[in-house]
Amino acid sequence: MSGETQRGALLLGLGVALGLSALAVGSCAQPECVVPDYTDPECRVIAENEVGRLDAAVGAELRFLDPSGRSGLDWEALGLLKEPPSGALEARVATLGDFAIGIRGAPGEALTLDVELHNVDPNTVISLGPAGAGVDLPAATESVLRRRLGVEVGAGEELELRGRLPCPERFQLAFVGDIQTNPLHFERIMERLREDVAASQEEGDPILGLVLVGDLTEASSDDEFTAMLRIVAGAPVPVAVTPGNHDIVRSKVPIYNSSFGPGSYAFEVCGARVALLDSGTARIARSIEGRLPELFDRDGADFLIAATHYPLYAGLSGDGWSREDQPQVILAELAIAEADLIVAGHMHALRDDPEVHVGSQELRQIVVGTGGADQGLGVARFGYLRVGLEVGSKPRACFVEVPPLGWAGLPNHALPTLPYCED
């Protein structure tokens, strides 16, 4: 008997045995997360998929799509859709760079939808129309991350609202995590980022986005998330977010997902593939673990960056995972994909591990838990990480220190392998 025949016979026998067992005990299978517990990462996956599409009461369906089209799915958890009691339909884009939203009209009558886009670079070119035949809309007139559009959709018509970001030859991305009880200092960091965004634009090396690697809040309260949404809405660049352990402590309310949308997702911005993993419960969902090769698939991208709250490298900073096998699996998949950089938080500190050996590959992990959370004794090292990207060169990483209010002493020394950006 061949190996394939043996495997088939074994699986058939196992299936029959399981089926008879189920009949014997009167099986009653239920879907995942029937009784919600949003401290369970699998429940958060379900929540982020739900908020990524909307059957609006006004009579249309909206859903986020993969702008590259490579997933082939009818919708992707790449944003957050809301229908407030009054006002425009709200669509918060969770990604940096290009995006796509599918719109399907009701079969009965034509509609005019009032749609407000959030977290969209003002330089983004917006188009609207049938798939593959969209027409560019007038350019933004304000340098803010919001666009309000009137969308006419015929009865039963399917349209795509797309955004494409013009890409420079070189650019930068910013990263930081662990804000928690100090949103006031995070606002100072954002003000410094605003200054750096303006300067980098003039230098031809623009900062295109900010990635927050978790612990935006201390106790996942409504007030904390409202404050963070206000700060993020005023950011000078679009913001991508993944949660930390302090952001998912309310078991009955998906407060993170209803505020920011997805926690585990991947996107491409100007040739850089960025994969965010929701490790808020010190583990990732099984369904996400199964998608790691897909999430880390470059598909022609020049760079691959992974971002997660809990650091992956156990040698110095990866302890604390509730499933210690998962960071090893993730590292192995990143090594196979030859990732350029891993960025994490959780540790309230700045650390650079430039030589993480995984088999024959060497990865780099930078911990940037410097967004404002308490760092214990000594001078706090607050600020954010900047990563410069240019085809043909390795990523250039440096740290922007934003000292505490009133600090008049000497600044911290740069790390041996991670310079300050001013140097």
Q: Do 201 and 170 form a contact (C-beta atoms < 8 A)?
A: no
Structure tokens at 182: 């100090």
DSSP code string of 13-33: HHHHHHHHHHHHHT-----TT
Is position 31 within any domain?
A: no
Q: What is the C-alpha to C-alpha distance for residues 275 and 336, in angstroms, rounded to an integer?
A: 15
Is position 391 within any domain?
A: yes
Q: What residue numbers bound the domain in which 319 lies?
A: 170-401
What local confidence, expressed as pLDDT, does residue 72 receive?
74
Residue 178 and residue 158 share a domain: no
Q: Where are the alpha helices (DSSP H) in 82-235?
A: 183-202, 222-233
Residue 232 and residue 132 share a domain: no
Is position 19 within any domain?
A: no
Count of domains observed in the chain: 2
> Beta strands 272-277 and 396-401: pairing type?
unpaired
- Count of beta carbons in the 10 Å neighbourhood of residue 57: 9
> If 0-12 CB within 10 Å is exposed, 13-18 middle and 19+ buried, where does residue 81 land?
buried
Q: Which of 146, 164, 182 is the last residue of a domain?
A: 164
Q: What is the C-alpha to C-alpha distance for residues 90 and 95, in angstroms, rounded to an integer?
A: 15
Q: What is the CATH number of the domain that holds 57?
A: 2.60.40
What local confidence, expressed as pLDDT, does residue 70 receive?
81
What local confidence, expressed as pLDDT, does residue 18 receive?
41
Residue 250 and residue 189 share a domain: yes
**What average pLDDT values come out for the chain (423 residues) when binned by 10 residues?**
44 43 55 89 96 92 92 88 90 97 91 95 95 90 90 92 96 98 96 97 96 97 96 96 97 96 97 97 95 95 97 72 91 96 95 92 95 84 96 95 81 89 76
Q: Do 63 and 75 form a contact (C-beta atoms < 8 A)?
A: yes
Is position 30 within any domain?
A: no
Q: Is the dihedral of CA 321, 246, 144, 402 positive or negative?
A: negative
Residue 200 and residue 320 share a domain: yes
Q: Do 53 and 63 form a contact (C-beta atoms < 8 A)?
A: yes
Q: What is the C-alpha to C-alpha distance for residues 45 and 278, in angstroms, rounded to an integer?
A: 9
Q: What is the CATH number of the domain that holds 375?
A: 3.60.21.10
Residue 204 and residue 334 share a domain: yes
Residue 206 and residue 119 share a domain: no
What local confidence, expressed as pLDDT, does residue 320 receive?
83
Is position 35 within any domain?
A: no
